[in-house]
């Protein structure tokens, strides 16, 4: 057998083939439909209603939706120990920003926890790495509170510019201090938006309406979106050194943690004003106090803090040039209801085996892509299950190649979900690990499995995503030698026929077999009467044959016979088949 070394790259080639008719299905809206046996991400785990733990207050519309489909346990203010104790009885967990979902939580779940829903945008209180390792989907609700957060940012901006909280408090104390609370105009001032995502973009639109000159810093922001709003994308240094106002809208990550520190403040214009409705940890609070005391920062308006609630003696909170609110960015009636519904729908869809568009620890795939590729999910998994059973015991499977035949441009063919399902098919039959679109890369890497992918460009209609999928396992021995192709790898190939997965090649033999149930593969000398002999043996033992087909190189030469059976043949039946003189080798496979 020739040794093979494939790079983990994508290639393109050309063959003169035609694609089959398009087969697609749509992801339906709630109310939820029953999960399919080969769902895109997670199989249907529940014969009874799932249990969902809610650890922080959630809007009533979201709770009502959850209760229609699940048992809901609302347990607030749990200690870390109490959360770890309860989580083993729960299939999903919904939190806000006050609950830390640590690695210990995932370990304590014993594998039962399938979904964590974060009611809001930030997910820094969820250990994404641990979630991925444990195959747990993490979803958030990034859309419903976008406007509320942007509006709160603008409210803080204007309140700070005109000293509204201080003036209000002064009058209520019986004072009239018009000269003390002279503000600054926003018209013509430079606003730097740090983090140009959903909220940052909405702040930019509103600030433009007030006549401000808006720039933004975000290394991941698309240029066309900034241009459409009329915002200039600039470097971090340019943003902080030229702005009159800075509004923070970035997530808290190791990169952004304490991004605004003594060094950053030293580069700013004297008299800068700062608004933060993002995450407290992006500002070094001690450094901000120093910058306020030295009047580098004239004012700060803060909705978030490193510690929430902040200490009562916090110098930052008590500073006379700081206005504060208790994390109210998403606190409007409309936003609370919207977030509750958004996260509830995402969690229920995940439990139902569907991938939410708000998933944060799995590839972002549109509903259109998922719908289009759904018919190929079963094919991908079954090819993996078939191929791994052809690997001889003791062989170390390390190198796998997937080839996709398609008339579509490779850049327009997202095969990640198919790659995940092939890995699922290869690994689950030989281990106790559960593989899904969340953890497939981690599991493959953990087992030293290298997956190379090739895309072959075919002649045909690009409306049809895939003509065939070929799977090859290199550098292994096979318990069915005929599955080894001329190039030295275990090779199986399949396609869809009438929307059903079919096996079309084993080794170098062309076949046509429905990938359902159990099959017996036989290599034989092609001769009359052989099919009848095998059928008689199976019939005598009351094993029902649902199909039988033969793929051959040429008449009266070697051939591969494939027999589909409804029941598992006994060892005695398989032995009798193997004793037929014309049969050179055979293997029984479960799909």
Return d(Cα 199, Cα 153) in angstroms, integer. 9
Alpha-carbon dihedral angle through residues 409, 414, 415, 417, given to the nearest 10 degrees: -160
Cβ atoms 276, 328 nearer than 8 A: no
| pLDDT at 37 (0 to 100) | 34
206 an active-site residue?
A: no
Helix (H) or strand (E) holding 213: strand 213-217
Instruction: Report residue 205: phi and psi, to 5°.
Output: -60, -45
Q: Are strands 272-276 and 322-324 parallel, antiparallel or unpaired?
A: unpaired
Give the pLDDT of residue 158. Answer: 97
pLDDT for res 57: 93
Q: Give the Å distances, CA to CA, from 296 to 190, 234, 288, 316.
A: 16, 22, 9, 15
DSSP of 81-133, one letter per residue? HHHHHHGGG-SEEEE-SS--B-HHHHHHTTT---EEEESSS--TTB-HHHHHH
Contact 457, 14 (CB under 8 A): yes
SS in 3 state form for 251-312?
CCCCCCCCCECHHHHHCCCCCEEEEECCCHHHECHHHHHHHHHCCCEEEEEECCCCCCCCCC
- The catalytic position among 60, 81, 82, 308 is 308
Cβ contact 489:474 at 8 Å: yes
DSSP bridge pairs for 297: 272
Q: Is 279 a catalytic residue?
A: yes
User: For the chain, which residues make up each domain, given as ranges?
Assistant: 51-144+338-352, 145-324, 366-515, 517-590
CA distance 414 to 408: 11
- Asked whether the domain spanning 145-324 has the same topology as the one spanning 51-144+338-352, the reply is yes
Decide: 239 and 247 in contact? Cβ < 8 Å: no
Q: What pLDDT does residue 253 have?
A: 82
Q: Which residues pair with 456 in a beta bridge?
A: 13, 405
E strands in 498-536: 500-506, 509-514, 518-525
Strand partners, 405: 456, 468
Instruction: Let me know: does 94 contact 58? Beta carbons within 8 Å.
Output: yes
Per-residue CA distances from 69 to 94, 139, 356 (Å)? 15, 18, 17
Q: Specify the CATH class of 517-590 in words.
A: alpha beta
Tokens linked to 36: 């399919």
**What are phi and psi for residue 154, nearest 5 degrees?**
-70, -35
Q: Cα(313)–Cα(318) distance, rounded to whole angstroms?
A: 7
CATH topology of domain 51-144+338-352: Rossmann fold (3.40.50)
**Rounded to the nearest 10 degrees, what angle do helices 146-161 and 164-172 cross at?**
60
Q: How far apart are CA 66 and CA 31, in angstroms?
A: 11
Mean pLDDT of successive 10-residue segments in the chain (591 residues)?
A: 51 34 31 37 54 96 95 96 96 94 96 93 88 90 88 97 96 95 96 94 96 94 88 96 97 90 97 96 97 98 95 96 94 91 93 76 72 88 94 86 91 87 91 80 88 91 89 94 92 94 91 88 81 85 82 68 85 87 86 80
Query: Of 118, 152, 273, 279, which residue is the catalytic one?
Result: 279
Res 20: pLDDT: 29
327 is catalytic: yes
Q: How far apart are alpha carbons 25 and 36 in whole angstroms?
A: 12
Query: Which pLDDT score is estimated for 190?
Result: 98
How many residues make up the chain in this entry? 591
76-86 exposure pattern, b = at least 16 Cβ within 10 A, e = fewer: eebeeeebbeb
Strand ranges (DSSP E) for 114-212?
115-118, 137-140, 190-194
CATH of domain 145-324: 3.40.50.720
Q: Please enumerate in sequence order all residues whose Cβ is within 8 A of that of 300, keeping only pairs 6 or more positions apart, or say none.
A: 160, 273, 274, 275, 276, 288, 292, 316, 319, 321, 322, 323
DSSP state of 526: -
Listing DSSP states for 414-483 in one string gives --HHHHHHHHHHHHGGGSS----TTTHHHHHHHTT-EEEEEEEEESS-TTS--SEEEEEEES--BSSGGG
Pairing of the two strands 190-194 and 245-248: parallel
Q: Is pTM beyond 0.85 here?
A: no
Kindly state the helix (H) or strand (E) to which residue 233 belongs, with its residue range.
Answer: strand 232-233
Which pair of structure tokens corresponds to residue 140? 């958030």
Token pair in block for residue 328: 């109210």
DSSP 303-338: S--SSSSPPTT-HHHH-TTEEE-SS-TT-SHHHHHH
Task: Give residue 44's pLDDT.
Answer: 38
**CATH class for the domain made up of 366-515:** alpha beta
Helices 416-427 and 367-389 pack at an angle, to 10 degrees, of 30
Q: How many CA atoms lie within 13 A of 162 on its CB side?
A: 10
pLDDT at residue 265, rounded to an integer: 98
- Which one from 118, 249, 273, 327 is the annotated catalytic residue? 327
Going edge to edge, which strands form the sheet with 558-565? 545-552, 558-565, 518-525, 583-590
**Which pLDDT value is given to residue 172?**
96
Residue 52 phi/psi, 5-degree rounding, is -120, 125
Kindly state the DSSP code that residue 171 receives in the 8-state scheme: H
d(CA 444, CA 549) in angstroms, rounded, equals 34
Which H or E element spans position 205? Answer: helix 198-209
């Amino acid at each position: 057998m020739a040794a093979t070394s494939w790079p983990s790259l994508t290639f393109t080639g050309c063959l003169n083939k035609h694609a089959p008719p398009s087969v697609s299905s749509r992801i339906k809206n709630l109310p939820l439909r029953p999960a399919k046996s080969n769902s895109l991400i997670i199989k249907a785990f529940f014969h009874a209603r799932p249990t969902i733990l809610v650890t922080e207050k959630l809007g009533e519309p979201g709770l009502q939706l959850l209760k229609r489909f699940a048992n809901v346990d609302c347990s607030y203010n749990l200690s870390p120990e109490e959360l770890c104790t309860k989580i083993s009885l729960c299939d999903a967990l919904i939190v806000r920003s006050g609950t830390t979902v640590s690695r210990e939580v995932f370990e304590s779940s014993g594998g039962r926890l399938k979904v964590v829903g974060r009611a809001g945008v930030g997910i820094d209180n969820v250990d994404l790495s641990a979630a991925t390792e444990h195959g747990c989907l993490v979803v958030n609700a990034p859309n419903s509170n976008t406007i509320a957060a942007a509006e709160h940012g603008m409210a803080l901006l204007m309140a700070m510019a005109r000293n509204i909280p201080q003036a209000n408090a002064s009058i209520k104390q019986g004072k009239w201090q018009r000269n003390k609370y002279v503000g600054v105009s926003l018209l013509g001032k430079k606003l730097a938006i740090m983090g140009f995502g959903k909220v940052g973009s909405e702040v930019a639109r509103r600030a433009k309406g007030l006549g401000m000159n808006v720039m933004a810093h975000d290394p991941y922001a698309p240029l066309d979106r900034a241009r459409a709003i009329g915002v200039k994308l600039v470097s971090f240094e340019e943003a902080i050194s030229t702005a009159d106002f800075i509004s923070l809208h970035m997530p808290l990550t190791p990169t952004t943690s304490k991004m605004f520190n003594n060094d950053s403040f030293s580069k700013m214009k004297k008299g800068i004003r700062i608004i933060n409705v993002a995450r407290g940890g992006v500002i070094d609070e001690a450094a901000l106090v120093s910058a306020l005391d030295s009047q580098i920062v004239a004012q700060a308006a803060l909705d978030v803090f490193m510690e929430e609630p902040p200490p009562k003696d916090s110098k930052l909170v008590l500073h006379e040039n700081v206005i504060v609110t208790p994390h109210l960015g998403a606190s409007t009636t409309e936003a609370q209801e919207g977030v509750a519904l958004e996260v509830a729908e995402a969690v229920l869809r995940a439990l139902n085996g569907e991938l939410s568009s708000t998933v944060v620890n799995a590839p972002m795939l549109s509903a259109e892509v998922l719908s289009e590729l759904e018919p190929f999910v079963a094919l991908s998994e079954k090819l993996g299950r078939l191929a791994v059973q052809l690997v001889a015991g003791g062989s170390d499977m390390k190198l796998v190649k997937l080839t996709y035949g398609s008339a579509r441009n490779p850049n327009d063919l997202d095969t990640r979900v198919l790659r995940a399902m092939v890995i699922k098919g290869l690994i689950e039959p030989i281990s106790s690990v559960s593989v899904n679109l969340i953890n497939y890369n981690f599991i493959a890497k953990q087992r030293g499995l290298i997956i190379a992918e090739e895309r072959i460009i075919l002649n045909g209609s690009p409306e049809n995503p895939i003509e065939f999928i070929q799977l090859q396992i290199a550098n292994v021995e096979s318990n069915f030698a005929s599955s080894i192709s001329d190039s030295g790898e275990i090779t199986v190939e399949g396609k869809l026929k009438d929307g059903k997965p079919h096996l079309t090649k084993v080794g170098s033999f062309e076949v046509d077999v429905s990938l359902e149930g159990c099959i017996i593969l036989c290599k034989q000398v092609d001769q009359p009467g052989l099919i009848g002999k095998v059928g008689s043996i199976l019939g005598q033992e009351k094993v029902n044959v649902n199909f039988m087909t033969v793929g051959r190189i040429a008449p009266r030469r070697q051939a591969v016979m494939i027999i589909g059976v409804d029941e598992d043949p006994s060892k005695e039946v398989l032995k009798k088949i193997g004793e037929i003189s014309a049969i050179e080798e055979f293997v029984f496979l479960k799909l």
